[in-house]
Amino acid sequence: MKRILIADDEPAITGALKSILQRRAFHVSVAEDGEEACRKIEDENPDLVVLDLLMPKMSGEQVLKSMRLNLKTSETPVIISTARRDIPTFANLMSMGATNYLMKPYNIRELTSLIESYI
């Protein structure tokens, strides 16, 4: 069973997404802040991470940077989920190693298709 970590501080988003992905036979974990995301990434070694940029304690950008510096997670697909809409942010995230990104509010079908294309 493929493992996905959803790192987002909005319970409505994580709850809905977790439910949908579990119905598609994924094992889903949730992290509510960047520090928890880093711990779970290290402990659970997910096959893919859906990562919000704006989270408490540690930003999604910092989590991504940490993942890319760790040999164990340097190749793990990361889909950035953000409300930010500026092109320089997206270009920077892609150069840092993000696999893809979606702008909030996003279509759940689009996100699940992206996830399934990477794992």
**Helix pair 34-44, 60-69: axis angle to 10 deg:** 30
**Which of 22-36, 49-63, 77-91, 92-106 has the least mean pLDDT?**
77-91
Element (H, E) at 119: none
Confidence of residue 73 (pLDDT cuts 50, 70, 90): very high
CATH of the domain at 87: 3.40.50.2300
- State the average pLDDT over residues 107-114: 86
pTM confidence score: 0.93
Q: Is the pLDDT score of 87 beyond 70? A: no
What are the residues whose beta carbons fall under 8 Å from the beta carbon of 44, sequence distance 6 or more?
Answer: 3, 5, 29
Q: Is the pLDDT score of 86 beyond 80? A: no
pLDDT of residue 90: 78
Find the domain containing 86 and state its range.
3-118
Overall number of domains in the chain? 1
